[in-house]
Structure 1
Amino acid sequence: MRFLPIFLDLRSGPVLLVGSGELARAKLRLLLAAGASVRWHATDGDYGLSGLDAADTTRIERAEGDPSTADLSGVIAVLCAGAGELGPAISARAKAVGLPVNVMDDLAHSTFIFPAIVDRGEVVVAVGTGGASPVVARRVRERIEAVLPARIGDLATFIGRWRKSIHSRIAEFPLRRRFWERVVDGPIGALVLAGRADEAEAALKDIADPSAFAGAQAGKANGKVTLVGAGPGDPDLLTIKALRALQDADIIFYDELVSSEILDRARRDAARVPVGRRVGKPGIGQDAINRLLIEAARSGLRAVRLKGGDPFVFGRGGEEVEALRQAGIAYSVIPGITAGLGAAAEFEVPLTFRGEALRITFLTAHKAKDAETVDWSALTDRKMTVVVYMGMTAAPAIRAGLLAAGRSPQTPVGVFARATRPDSQAVVGALENLPALVREIDGGPAILVIGDVVAHSTPWRDANLNSLISNFLVAAE
């Protein structure tokens, strides 16, 4: 993010606009819509105001003379639109006195840019691309326009009228926020969005106990823990329910494997506490994590336990649920796409395939000793796909166990690392070469898939195609 979105109060002073033609007039209309007073230097001398509301034109001051020596006293921002070669010179003057300046289509001489705007009165959405592609910003704006309720600004205004009154009746901030969430998401908010503001006012006045309405007991917010599956890494694979939980959270306890892109989807002011561990690095321990979750809920916070993949697939979510049950803490579980399924989807590995693979076994082999405890004799059926989590370190033991139990050395295997992430990687080959395949991977986490279905994957087909091409070239020589 190069440009920080900031909403500037344009009623705090005049804006200097330098330029002419439709480009300048488009900026003029935008400034006036935001309530600005404008000091305008029309570089071509044409101050025509056709198409503008007569009341708005009273806030336009015509500036005469050389715009490069324009009076900047009291000005809060400078805009150049259709100003030609004057732009850089005016930009230098503005920067010299610390004024924000925008030279249209000239990032080098601008300290701020104009986003694409969705205007719903008190609710304004700004979409920017850092100046790289205004067309992309407009397309995003169009999509937001399509889903944002027309009266969402009315809802914001409605809440604004009641904020001080509710603040005086609910002292605790988390409880106050939950009160407004229930208003916005419930029947009262629906009435406002339907244009029935009078009924919404009456319904809000009828709330005798705002704390109870917010779902509190004895005037204190009720805490809760939500176990959320973050999926294998791609933030777009978060479920809608997971996104909602991240937006509602007061505090987030997250694993090491949860990407920053996923954490960016959380509420900005939510506290973030790392509690995960990686191979070879110490963690705080499961008992300590359980205590943190319980303490947060008892403090009235909405806590999210954010886990890579799915909480209940080698995520120790079951242990956390047991601890929360015993402590009498309210909780819920939101599933995520487990890494094995994410890898299968990205690399087109059909974990089941009619006539070839009728069963799937998921197992974990974090260390060699884990692999030694597995009954490999139950995993020799060719029609069974074996998916191994955390198996890179134990790859030699996994190979040895399967081969000793009778699985064919030529069984197709795939090592799929960092699935669904931009730096994902896949290596495929035969079971007998599994440790060597793992060594080709540039770091985990990785999923091992063992079974004939790997031969249907895109990496396997690509490898065979490359082999055919190489053989053809050798023969041609």
Structure 2
Amino acid sequence: MRFLPVFLDLKAGPVVLIGAGELLRAKLRVLAAAGARIRVHAIDGNQDLGLSPEDAARIEIATGDPLTADLAGVIAIVCAGASDVGVAMSVRAKALGLPVNVMDDLEHSSFIFPAIVDRGDVVVAVGTGGTSPVVARRVREKIEALLPARIGELAEFIGGFRKSINERIAEFPLRRRFWERVIDGPIGASVLAGRKGEADAALKAIADPSEFARADKPEGSVALVGAGPGDPDLLTIKALRALQDADIVFHDELVSGEILDRIRRDTTRVPVGRRVGKPGIGQDAINKRMIEAAQAGQRVVRLKGGDPFVFGRGGEEVEALRAAGIAYSIIPGITAGLGGAADFEVPLTYRHEATRITFLTAHKARDAEVVDWSTLTDTKMTVVVYMGMTAAPAIRAGLFAAGRSPETPVGVFARVTRPDAQGVIGTLRDLPELVRRTHGGPAILIIGDVVRHAGSLRRQTPNQIISDLLDAAE
């Protein structure tokens, strides 16, 4: 390690910035964003720095030769686009013992700029010793994706209580344990979820911080996590963090193996869902097991295909957790209707053609029979049906009876976003046959004129695609 990572106190004095052109302005934006006081020597004479009035108030436009300028109180020197002046300024800075950076010139720099992840009070610096800024940026992007957006708010929140808690807990190990329990438990989760007021009240309600820190049983919690329709790359960053933090995961049967592979290896995995024609353990039993695990101090994830609140019984599970007094969070996922529409390039809305969307479920024929199809006959409405393969004949009959045209375009999209995804299109008249041609689900049905705009029907031959288009046109 050639360069030691350090953090410079920008309140200690001004930073001198010397250079010209866009390189100067780029470094100026970095320093201004960090809150630095800046003294700028624009050696090309261009003083149009393009800064906001707020930033401009902290910037001094210097005149004269920077090589003879007074450097008293200066904390660092930065040269960007300064050419030979930068080299000469480096010599002067080193003679005075001032940190100096000459952009893209390691030989004349005593410090370098890292790639920065800025989360307020939490700052991560990534460096490669100046050898490859592009690699540093790529590492920064990975870290950006992993860090919660409100991690800086969590640090600020803890900072607001740190002095008072430290005064109440004398032993350092116990004090550390207290903050670990706060950060890893429901209080920290509340801050990261944007519920700072709730977290503030919970921390203030701790009567004895030492006893809280000594408690043997950690506080459990439940995260309802949407796994999306199958592609693991469609998991949200927040969902990935929950899977990595979990002690136990209760997952649906239809959650793909690739997504289950994202769970930490030592986490307990419990399948609790059901497939068509096969009994599951039942919703009450799922609720009971989640609650018991959380009451035992475990971090629980309920991993559900698609989105927990779109035909996923997430509402029922939330009500059960509320009634049991269990801390919980909700992490949405991409629902199959949206995933399938994107996968096969079907715009669910289209200007002048489709201005409304209805999502419904028809798992069995009797489900379709209780739907009021008369409300779904508007030709400018796109109808997205979940779990409708078995009930396809009843869905067709219901729409026919309500007056929807047999020529209405229909798409059946199976196993959406997965490598074996398949889509077939035709008309409402042919719906049961289209379902048979998908060779198994799960599948969504999209009904409406927007299906005419479908793009790539992956996994089909050109002849199959032409046949589908002809079917839709007949």
TM-score calculated relative to the size of structure 1: 0.56
Matched, 1:299 2:265: no
Question: Which of 269, 279, 302 is residue 272 of structure 1 equivalent to?
Answer: 269
Contact 1:454 1:460 in 2 (8 A): no
Distance 2:340 2:142 in 1: 35
Quick one: structure 1 residues 398 and 144, their matched pair in 2 at CA, closer, same or farther if it must change by over 3 Å?
same
Deviations 1:152-207 (A, max 9, x none): xxxxxxxxxxxxxxxxxxxxxxxxxxxxxx9xx958xx9xxxxxxxxxxxx99846
**Structure 1 counterpart of 2:280, which letter?**
G
Contact 1:347 1:457 in 2 (8 A): yes
Distance 1:465 1:432 in 2: 18
Matches within 5 A, 1:20-419: 145=139, 206=172, 208-213=174-179, 214-215=181-182, 217=212, 218-419=215-416
Question: Which of 401, 415, 421 is residue 424 of structure 1 equivalent to?
Answer: 421
Deviations 1:295-319 (A, max 9, x none): 0100000000000000000000000
SS in 2 for 1:351: coil
SS in 1 for 2:340: helix
Cα deviation for residue 442 of structure 1 reads 1.1
SS in 2 for 1:426: strand
SS in 2 for 1:378: helix
Quick one: structure 1 residues 465 and 308, their matched pair in 2 at CA, closer, same or farther if it must change by over 3 Å?
closer
Distance 1:392 1:345 in 2: 20
**Structure 2 counterpart of 1:209, which letter?**
R
Question: How many equivalent residue pairs?
Answer: 287
**Structure 2 counterpart of 1:348, which letter?**
E
Quick one: structure 1 residues 409 and 186, their matched pair in 2 at CA, closer, same or farther if it must change by over 3 Å?
same
Contact 2:425 2:468 in 1 (8 A): no
Distance 1:396 1:468 in 2: 19
Matched, 1:442 2:408: no
Cα deviation for residue 268 of structure 1 reads 1.1
Equivalence for 1:94 = none
Contact 2:251 2:302 in 1 (8 A): yes
Equivalence for 1:466 = 466
**Structure 1 counterpart of 2:381, which letter?**
M
Distance 2:367 2:465 in 1: 36
Quick one: structure 1 residues 251 and 398, their matched pair in 2 at CA, closer, same or farther if it must change by over 3 Å?
same
Deviations 1:348-402 (A, max 9, x none): 0000001000000000000000000000010000000000000000000000000
Q: Pick which of 373-382 and 456-465 moved more.
A: 456-465
Distance 1:412 1:468 in 2: 10
SS in 1 for 2:265: coil
Quick one: structure 1 residues 438 and 250, their matched pair in 2 at CA, closer, same or farther if it must change by over 3 Å?
same
Distance 1:389 1:231 in 2: 14
Equivalence for 1:58 = none
Quick one: structure 1 residues 439 and 225, their matched pair in 2 at CA, closer, same or farther if it must change by over 3 Å?
same
Cα deviation for residue 267 of structure 1 reads 1.0
**Structure 2 counterpart of 1:210, which letter?**
R
Quick one: structure 1 residues 245 and 469, their matched pair in 2 at CA, closer, same or farther if it must change by over 3 Å?
closer
SS in 2 for 1:396: helix
Distance 2:457 2:257 in 1: 31
SS in 2 for 1:458: coil
Equivalence for 2:98 = none
Contact 2:381 2:448 in 1 (8 A): yes
Deviations 1:316-362 (A, max 9, x none): 00000000000110001000000000000010000000100000000
SS in 2 for 1:353: coil
Matched, 1:452 2:432: no
Cα deviation for residue 418 of structure 1 reads 0.2
**Structure 1 counterpart of 2:329, which letter?**
S
Q: Percent identity?
A: 70
**Structure 1 counterpart of 2:438, which letter?**
I
Quick one: structure 1 residues 141 and 296, their matched pair in 2 at CA, closer, same or farther if it must change by over 3 Å?
farther
**Structure 2 counterpart of 1:259, which letter?**
S
Distance 1:468 1:260 in 2: 31
Cα deviation for residue 148 of structure 1 reads 7.1
SS in 1 for 2:357: strand
Distance 2:306 2:394 in 1: 25
Contact 2:409 2:427 in 1 (8 A): yes
Cα deviation for residue 441 of structure 1 reads 1.1
Which consecutive segments of 4 or more residues in structure 1 shift more than 6 A?
Answer: 140-144, 460-465
Quick one: structure 1 residues 212 and 280, their matched pair in 2 at CA, closer, same or farther if it must change by over 3 Å?
same
Quick one: structure 1 residues 281 and 295, their matched pair in 2 at CA, closer, same or farther if it must change by over 3 Å?
same
Distance 2:276 2:246 in 1: 28
Distance 1:145 1:377 in 2: 55
Contact 2:346 2:451 in 1 (8 A): yes
**Structure 1 counterpart of 2:449, which letter?**
D
Quick one: structure 1 residues 453 and 147, their matched pair in 2 at CA, closer, same or farther if it must change by over 3 Å?
closer
